Amino acid sequence: MAFRRRRVWLWRWRRNPLRRRSDRVEAWVVLVTWIVTVTGGVLAGVAATHTVERTLARERADWRPVVARLLENAPVSASGGARVWAEARWTAPDGAARSGQARVPAGSTRGTTVTVWTDPAGLLVNRPPSAATAATRAALIGALTGVGAGTVPLVCGRLLRGRLERRRMDQWDEDWARLGPTWGRTTG
């Protein structure tokens, strides 16, 4: 049967005559690192999620489908039902005629009407994501942002703890160099 050591909670904060100043500093570094990591990660993730949600909702509200006419025959695709690029013309919201490259069904002929999406200025844009797709995208971006923001203080705290550990080892080496030679002596 393996020996299981009982886990001692808050051991960094207990009084101990052998505890050094570096141990107390390390206890504070660990506490502050975890607080900043968790709260910073959560706040950054929530802020990123809300920003992406607002941006995608604005796109869904502002971007409009417009009927465009092809100015050329669309190339035939070897993969069957693929969409290809072709020159099309449409009317912008301000009444100006616009033209540009649009994704259309392969093999479409000149003069065919296709639906394209435009922004308020009448420029071509991609179709805005649905509400469900936008929510998923916002959640994923928020989660990645939160993890990224939480990683920074965690890594900084780990680097600081490593520096404290090296300093503690140097102090032990100094103490051992001073006390080591007297270790084998007996009093008597």
Interval 70-112: pLDDT, tens: 999 988 876 666 888 999 999 988 889 999 999 998 888 999 9
Residues 114 and 136 in one domain: no
Same structural domain for residues 122 and 148? no
For tokens 């780990």, name the residue: 158
Last residue of a domain, one of 74, 103, 127: 127
- Please give the full DSSP string across 117-162, using - where no structure is assigned: EE-TTS-EEPPPPPHHHHHHHHHHHHHHHHHHHHHHHHHHHHHHHH
Contact yes or no for 28/129 (Cβ under 8 A): no
Per-residue confidence (pLDDT) for residue 78, from 0 to 100:
66
Q: Say whether both 71 and 113 belong to one domain.
A: yes
Classify residue 15: in a domain, yes or no.
no
Q: Quote the CA–CA distance of 90 and 85 in Å, as a whole number.
A: 15
Question: pLDDT at position 3, please?
Answer: 67
Examine residue 2 and state whether it is found in any structural domain, yes or no.
no
Residue 154: give the domain boundaries.
Answer: 21-62+129-162
Say yes or no to pLDDT of 20 above 80: no
Residues 31 and 107 reside in one and the same domain: no
Domain assignment present for 4: no
- For residues 182 and 144, the model is more confident at 144
Would you place residue 185 in the very low, low, confident or very high pLDDT band (cuts 50, 70, 90)? low
Same domain flag for 36 and 117: no
Residue 45 located in a structural domain: yes
In a domain, residue 10? The reply is no
DSSP H or E stretch at residue 24 = helix 21-62
Q: Using DSSP bridges, classify how beta strands 113-118 and 64-70 pair: parallel, antiparallel or unpaired.
A: antiparallel
Quick one: which of 35, 10, 26 has its CA closest to 153? 35
pLDDT interval class at 12 (50, 70, 90): low
Do 147 and 56 belong together in one domain?
Answer: yes
Q: Which residue has the higher pLDDT, 95 or 55?
A: 55
> Contact 96/126 with Cβ under 8 angstroms?
no
Counted domains in the chain: 2
- C-alpha radius of gyration, the chain, whole number: 33
Closest CA to 158 of 32, 33, 42, 36: 33
What mean pLDDT is predicted for residues 31-43? 96
Structure tokens at 48: 């990123």
End residue of a domain, out of 109, 127, 145: 127
Angle between helix 131-179 and helix 21-62 axes, rounded to 10 deg: 170
157 and 82 housed in the same domain: no
